[in-house]
Homo-oligomer: A and B are copies of this chain.
Amino acid sequence: MIVVLKQGASEQQREDLIEWIKSLGLDVHLSIGKMQTVLGLIGDTGSIDTELIEGLAIVESVMRVTEQFKKANRKFHSDDSVFEISGAGGSGPKKIGDGNFMMIAGPCSVESEEQICAIAESVKASGAQMLRGGAYKPRTSPYDFQGMRDEGIGLLLKAKKLTGLPIVTEIMDLSHLEHFCEVDVIQVGARNMQNMELLKQLGRTNKPILLKRGLSSTLKELLLSAEYIMAGGNEQVILCERGIRTFETATRNTCDIGAVPVLKELSHLPVIVDPSHACGIARYVRPLTLAAVAAGADGIIVEVHNNPEKAMCDGPQSLKPEEFAELVKAVERVRAAVNS
């Protein structure tokens, strides 16, 4: 950490500051220039609050040189991480990361056994490697449908048994964790990206965690939330870009495709994109999926419905099964084009 002092700082103030920094267990490298005095803090500065230093009367500015995230940091783990997703059925383990691409698909919400099983069979046939489906639903309004909750997880497990597809579904509170024993990948939604107590507890499980970026979170904050999980011992975190909030209203959120190369540079963890929630409109899901793949994503999580006869009440962001089948083929072509 580099600390630049104000020109007016007295020698006494400077010495007081240095003494205090040393009391935190750090060394200080002092460099007195004509124009400014610079302190280089040496040691484990990860737990020092830069804002605290910046707020001192004699400090002009502060620059963190080493990132606060360590286990998620590519600097200390140069190879891409690969996680095995141990699904049921005879299909054997799937992998994500380091060239292993994963297509995850399923409905917005689990609604019935018939629905989730039909979609599971459909997306499997089209080439999906994992089934998604909301059981616990985070809804902005208390009057909206809150999901089938633990019953929904039971239906996902039936679909898993039927198709052999591993399942991913969202957890909203620690008290529900007992219902996730047979879930293959646990999702943390955007609203809970900084629910630190939840992250800590998931760090004590041994399941891969699909961690979605918060609506207004920076990429470094996303990595620090991953660090919360990893610091607990569970290093299987899949990062997910799902759109950030901006002033643009033509799409629900703005899909930050640039997050893919940035995250892959900063971290060794797999990075996937959720174009369905990012844009909120089914007809933009295909171009955004292909864009994410072209930018190097390790996977896509996408909403697919199965109600041709009741298309009216299906989600605005869900693809039809035939659109999804087409998309899987286009994804493969784009991956080949990018990597050849």
Contacts and interface: CB of A to CB of B under 8 A. Distances in A.
A53 to B, nearest CB: 8
B216 A315 contact: no
Contacts of A280: 51, 55
A258 B265 contact: no
Interface string A223-263: 01001100100000000000011111111101111111110
B38 A33 contact: no
Contacts of A148: none
Main secondary structure of the interface of A (DSSP, over half): mixed
B261 A52 contact: no
A181 interface: no
A86 interface: no
Given A55-B317, A192-B195, 9 more contacts: A63-B63, A142-B196, A142-B199, A142-B227, A218-B248, A244-B248, A247-B247, A248-B259, A251-B262
Give the 6 A-B residue pairs with the shortest CB-CB distance, closest first. Answer: A55-B316, A216-B216, A173-B197, A333-B337, A290-B294, A294-B294
Interface of A: 2, 4, 16-17, 20, 29, 31, 33-36, 38, 40, 42, 46-47, 49, 51-52, 54-56, 60-61, 63, 65-66, 68-69, 138-146, 172-176, 191-192, 194-200, 214-216, 218-221, 224, 227-228, 231, 244-252, 254-262, 265-266, 278-284, 287-288, 290-296, 312-313, 315-317, 330, 333-334, 336-338, 340
